[in-house]
Structure 1
Amino acid sequence: MTQQASSDTTLPRRPYGGVLAVQIIALVLLIGASLLGQFALFLEVPLCVVAMVAFTVFWPFRGTWVDRMLGVLAGLVSFVFAFNALGSGVLYPPLHTTGKLAVAAGPLIRWACVYVFLLAAFTVIGFARQMAREQRTDLVRSLSQSLTGVVAMASMPGWLFIVVAASAHPFGGARFWAADAVCVVALALVVLMVVALRHWLKDFDPDPAVPAPWIGIALLPVMLLGLVAFAATLALLLCQFGIAG
């Protein structure tokens, strides 16, 4: 009991103010970078890389180095395919499609397919790892934390697609109201993530050997919001090309 109590006291502090500051700074930089137009990727790319590296260093979960490496692998594959989708697209099969919507949304749809494949593959890998353990204590928790790290790392490159939304033409008529609705929903999800983090901190149980794991937990919602950035971009493209008006 004494050893358990002493180990609990060595757990790092969970400064909500510092966590909130990291989140706000990251979100301001990521959203602000999208306003640079054709130069947005020059800032979005290093921001995503820095966030993914910081999340790996300040890993907010309990686990082994294998969990981190799986997250790094998922993030690397997702990032490469996202960046390539916005560029040459040589890593993807050719799409024989016509129409402005198909051309504009093509990079997003391609990356979405890769993302789904990554989740399926790493879910199987994670489940196989847990089944291979001799002692399967805390199996559900270990599996969920490992997969959460993979999902966060794979989702972060979704922020790269926000540059597509930022370059969209002004909306009018029905498109204007639909685009406003998309922005309101996206903003609500951002606020929800920030508010939910206070509850996540209550169950925050990092590895005591990890330096400043609160930075990792602060970056977790930001990285997951990469999916929101991706979905909002796709929805705005539908508003621009898919709604008559």
Structure 2
Amino acid sequence: MALVGRLAFVTGAGSGIGRATCQALARDGASVVAADRNLKNAEETVTLLKEFKENHVSLHLDVGDSSSVNNNLDKILSKYKRPPTIIVNCAGITRDNFVLKLSEEDFDEVLKINLKGTFLVVKQFAQAIVEHGINNASIINVASIVGKYGNIGQANYSASKAGVERLTRTASLELGDKGIRVNAVLPGMIATPMLAAVPEKSNNKVFEYDSTGEIRETRR
């Protein structure tokens, strides 16, 4: 119960990595705010957390909309009288297609949610942490191994996750002396609803770089 007394805020909490993160945090004693664009899914996540304790809430959140991010922060401050000191950015989407077929709209939407959304949450919540004089906080951004190596059919997703990783590096340099740690994790292929939406033919392919720097294909 190492996180007893800590307040955590998780985006993309309605399913996949976000839901599992909420469960892990609650199991370790944190109070969890589960935020998701699909409020019903976020509510289902909170129901799963009740076996640990009752002080968890769900919120509707569109991370790509600054007013929605601000509204979530305001609701948290009103209920808990303090900002969360654990923030996990899990919200993300895919709109996969080959570069020659990828629409501008699908490119923009993925960067809006995955990259801009992470930026908006980091900015607003870090500002609240600083204003409340808290000097022990942690922000974890979920990037992807695809952001490091790229992947066929995922130019927009790869670009967004590479941006998350570099945003994280920069934010860690700027916020470290304010008592806010900023880190990123780069998951590989994980069985989540997002992965289930990828065609099986593509889903079974993983592209990696070998020791010589050449790209090669492996199978899951």
Question: What TM-score comes out, normalization by structure 1 length?
Answer: 0.28
Name whichever structure is richer in helix by fraction: 1
Normalised by the size of structure 2, how large is the TM-score? 0.31
Hey, which of these two has a bigger chunk of strand by percent?
2
